[in-house]
Structure 1
Amino acid sequence: MSKTILVTGASGFIGSFLVEGALERNMQVWAGVRKTSSRKYLQDSRIQFAELDFMDSDNLQAKLAVHKKSHGGWDCIIHCAGVTKCLDKRDFEIGNYWATRNFIETLQRLDMVPERFVYISSLSVFGPVHERDYMEICDSDAPCPDTAYGRSKLRTEEYLRSLAGFPYVIFRPTGVYGPRETDYYLMAESIKKHLDFAAGFRRQDITFVYVKDLVQAIYLALEKQVVCRSYFVSDGEVYSSRTFSDLIWNELGRPWMLRFVCPIGLLKVISFISENIGKLMHKPTTLNNDKYRIMKQRNWRCDITPLREELGYVPQYSLAEGVKETIAWYKEEGWL
C-alpha cells in the first residue's frame, strides 16, 4: 500500500513542488492549505486537501480529529508552511515557531505523530558564520542568526530536538530558485529593465539549490528512513555575487544593462526607509532590515557532505541549467 503524506504550505513555491514530487512517487497526497490559499499549482485530481490553521488550536484539533476518524493519520508529514515576510517581526515567531509547536502538540495529543516529520528550515539559522575565512558552514558551528526570520527558524529547530523520540528530519536549504518563485523573479525583471544590483564591494560567496533538487533531497530522506538528522542543501557549488545575474542576463538575450553596486552603508539606509514605508502602507516590502542583513552576509557556503554520503544525494541541475529552465517558465507564463 502506498504511503500517505501531508505537505503543509502546499500552495507555496516549494510546497507545490513537494506535492508534485509525492505524486511522482505514487504516494497518497494531502495538500495542507489555508482556506484562502490559491490552488493554481495544485490541480492534479489525485490531490486531497486539508484546510488547516496552525494558530487556531481548537479548530486545528477538531479538523485533525475528523481526519483521523475518516482517514487515519499520515505516514509522513513535510512541514513547509511558514512565514517569510511580515510587517511585525514578532509574526515570524508566531508563524514559524508557535504555529509549528501548536501543530506538533496537537498531533501528539491525537496520537497522530507520523513515521517522519520533515521540517523545512533555512541556512539563515546560522547567520554570518565564517565571514573572514569563508569556510563551509557545518552542523558543528554555533548558530548566530541576525534576522528575525532566522531566529524563528532556529527556535523551531531547537524545539524539535528537545522532543524525546520525535522522528524529525530538518532541511536547511540555501537560496532556493526555480519556476513559481517570486523574489529571484524580481532580479530577472530588473535585468530585463536594464538594471542589475549588487550589495557591497567585498567578496561574497553565494550558494543556490534548484527547487527540484531540494525536492529530491527530501524524498531521499524519506526513502532512507532517517530520523533525528539535520541537513544543509545546495547544488554543491559556490558562486560569486554576479554569477546568477549573468546567467539571467544571458537567458534574456543579453540586453544592455547598467550594473550598480550599492555600498553596504547606503543599503542599510535604503532598507530602513523601505521597511518603514511598508509599515505605513500596511504591506510587507521585499527590501527591509532583515533582507539587508541577508544581503550584507558575505559567506553562504554550507557543507552538504552528510547529504551526499548518507542519502546518496547528487544534484541534477547546474546553476546554468536551473536558470535556463526558470527563465523559460517565466516567459511561458507571461511573467517576463
Structure 2
Amino acid sequence: MRKKILITGAGGFIGSFIVEEALARNYDTWAGIRNSTNREYLQDNRIHFIDLQYSNKSNLKKQLLEKKNTFGKWDYIIWNLGATKCRHPEDFDKINYGLVKIFTETLIETDTVPEQFIMMSSLGAWGAGNEESYAPICPTDMPKPETLYGKSKLKAELHLQSLPGFPYVILRPTGVYGPREKDYFLMIKSIKWGIDFSVGYKPQALTFIYVKDLVKIMFLAIDKGVKQKSYFISDGAVYTSSDFRKYVAKALKKHFILPLRLPLWVLKIVSYSVAFCASLIGKTSTLNPDKYRIMKQRNWICDISALQKELGFTADYPLEKGVEECISWYKTAGWL
C-alpha cells in the first residue's frame, strides 16, 4: 500500500519542492494549502489538496476524523507552514508556535499521529554563533534566538519535545536558496545590475543549503525512520559574502561588480524605516527589524555532524553548483 504524506505550506518555495519529491517517490501526496493559494507549482493531477483549519481546533478535529475514516491517517507529515515576516509582532508566535500546538494536540486527540512528524524550524531558533572564535553552533549550546521568528520557532520545538513519545524530527536549516525563492533573488538581481551590497565591517561566516538538498534530508529522515531527533542543516561548507558574489557573477557572466559595504547602523535605520512605512499601508517588507538582526550576525557556521552520521547526508549542491542551477532557472522563468 502506498504511504500517505501531508505537506503543509505546500504552496510556498520549499513546499512545492517537497511535493515534487513526494510524487517522484510515488507517495499518496496531500498538499495542505488555503483554497486561495497560488497553485502555479502544484499542477500535477495526482496531488490531493486540503485546506486544514489550523486555527480552529473544533473544525480541524472534524477534518482529521473525516480524513481518517475515509482515507486513513497520514503516515508522514512534513510541517512546512510558517511565517518569516509579519505585520504584527505577536503573529510570529500565533503562527509559528500556536498553529503547531493546536495541530499536534488535535492529532493526538483524534488518534491520527503519523509515523513521523517532520517540522521545519530554523538555525535562527538557536541564534548566532560565537562572533569572536567563530566556533560552529552546536546542539549542546544554549539557544538564544535574537529574532521574533527564531524565538517562535524555538517555542514550537520545545512544544514538540514536551509531548510524550511524539515522533518529531526537527530540521534547522541555515539560509535556503534555489529556484522560486524571492529574498536571495533580490541579491542576485542587484549583482546583475553590477552592485553587491553587504553590511558590517567585521568578517561574516555564511552557510547555505540548496532547496533540493534540504528536501533530500527530509526524505533521508523518513527512509532512516529517525524519531525525536533534531538536526542543524547546511551544505557543510563555510562561505563569505564575496564567495556568493563571485559565484553569482560567474553564472551571470558579469565581469565587473561594484561591492558596496554599508555600516550596520545604516542598515538598521533603513530596515526599521521600511518596515514602519510598509505597516502604514498594511504590508510586510523584506527589510525589517528581524531581517536586520539576521544580517548583522557574523557567525552562521553550524555543526552538521549528526546529520552526516545519522542520516548519511552529503550535499549534492555546493554553493557554486546551486547558484548556477538557480540562476539558470531564473533566466528560463523570465525572472532575470
TM-score w.r.t. the length of structure 1 is 0.98
Q: For residue 153 of structure 1, what is the aligned residue in structure 2?
A: 153
Aligned residue identity for 1:212: K
Map residues 229-308 of structure 1 onto 2, 5 A cutoff: 229-254=229-254, 256-308=256-308
Shift of 1:194: 2.1
* Higher alpha-carbon deviation: 177-186 or 258-267: 258-267
Shift of 1:26: 1.4
Tell me, what secondary structure is at the counterpart of 2:226? coil
Q: For residue 117 of structure 2, what is the aligned residue in structure 1?
A: 117
* Higher alpha-carbon deviation: 140-149 or 36-45: 36-45
Tell me, what secondary structure is at the counterpart of 1:284? coil
In 2, the alpha carbon distance for the partners of 1:121 and 1:40 equals 25
Q: CA RMSD for the aligned pairs?
A: 1.0
Deviations 1:282-324 (A, max 9, x none): 1101111100000000000011111111111111111111000
In 2, the alpha carbon distance for the partners of 1:14 and 1:242 equals 26
Identity of aligned residues (%): 50
In 1, the alpha carbon distance for the partners of 2:288 and 2:21 equals 33
Contact 1:200 1:264 in 2 (8 A): yes
Aligned residue identity for 1:211: V
In 1, the alpha carbon distance for the partners of 2:258 and 2:129 equals 32
Tell me, what secondary structure is at the counterpart of 2:170? strand
Unaligned 5+ segments in structure 2 are: none
Map residues 5-84 of structure 1 onto 2, 5 A cutoff: 5-84=5-84
Deviations 1:227-251 (A, max 9, x none): 0000011110000122112211221
In 2, the alpha carbon distance for the partners of 1:248 and 1:62 equals 49
In 2, the alpha carbon distance for the partners of 1:250 and 1:93 equals 40
Aligned residue identity for 1:312: G
Contact 2:128 2:137 in 1 (8 A): no
In 2, the alpha carbon distance for the partners of 1:293 and 1:128 equals 10
Q: For residue 327 of structure 1, what is the aligned residue in structure 2?
A: 327
* Higher alpha-carbon deviation: 232-241 or 125-134: 125-134
Contact 1:74 1:114 in 2 (8 A): yes
Tell me, what secondary structure is at the counterpart of 1:70? helix
Contact 1:2 1:26 in 2 (8 A): yes
Aligned residue identity for 1:96: N
Q: For residue 198 of structure 2, what is the aligned residue in structure 1?
A: 198
- Residues 10 and 266 (structure 1), Cα distance of their counterparts in 2 relative to 1, 3 Å cut: same
Q: For residue 129 of structure 1, what is the aligned residue in structure 2?
A: 129
Map residues 155-234 of structure 1 onto 2, 5 A cutoff: 155-234=155-234
Tell me, what secondary structure is at the counterpart of 1:283? coil
Shift of 1:24: 1.5
TM-score w.r.t. the length of structure 2 is 0.98
Shift of 1:53: 2.8
Counting matched residue pairs gives: 336
Aligned residue identity for 1:297: Q
In 1, the alpha carbon distance for the partners of 2:78 and 2:310 equals 19
In 2, the alpha carbon distance for the partners of 1:317 and 1:256 equals 26
Deviations 1:59-82 (A, max 9, x none): 222222221121110000000011
In 1, the alpha carbon distance for the partners of 2:36 and 2:92 equals 20
Contact 1:192 1:255 in 2 (8 A): no
Matched, 1:314 2:306: no
Tell me, what secondary structure is at the counterpart of 2:241? coil
Q: For residue 94 of structure 1, what is the aligned residue in structure 2?
A: 94
Aligned residue identity for 1:160: L
Shift of 1:278: 1.1
Unaligned 5+ segments in structure 1 are: none
Runs (4+) off by over 4 Å: none
In 2, the alpha carbon distance for the partners of 1:245 and 1:56 equals 45
In 2, the alpha carbon distance for the partners of 1:84 and 1:6 equals 21
Q: For residue 104 of structure 1, what is the aligned residue in structure 2?
A: 104
Contact 2:206 2:301 in 1 (8 A): yes
